[in-house]
Structure 1
């Protein structure tokens, strides 16, 4: 585990969150919480599939 304040400590999670917000959340008005969950889960599932395909797994 790295020391506190290391800028590279959480870079992958922060990059993913930034992409999620930019592509799925910003500027979008969801009708309810369920719709938001469906869109975000679909986005996450697509990202997981892309990663598996890139690795030759899926």
Structure 2
């Protein structure tokens, strides 16, 4: 994640917002604490593939 976040503060903020939204949805849907943590992590990592993409294409 640090590699992705080093590319841009924008990516870091976006991933953190997506993570929070995913977690909020999971809580609202009644998921247990462990599942909420996993869903937040998935939200945080959803753009992990961008690590290897040149900034020109993003």
Q: Normalising to structure 2: TM-score of the pair?
A: 0.41
Report the structure, 1 or 2, having the larger helix content: 2
Larger Rg: 1
Q: Quick one: higher RCO (CA 8 Å, sep 6+), 1 or 2?
A: 2
Q: Normalising to structure 1: TM-score of the pair?
A: 0.41
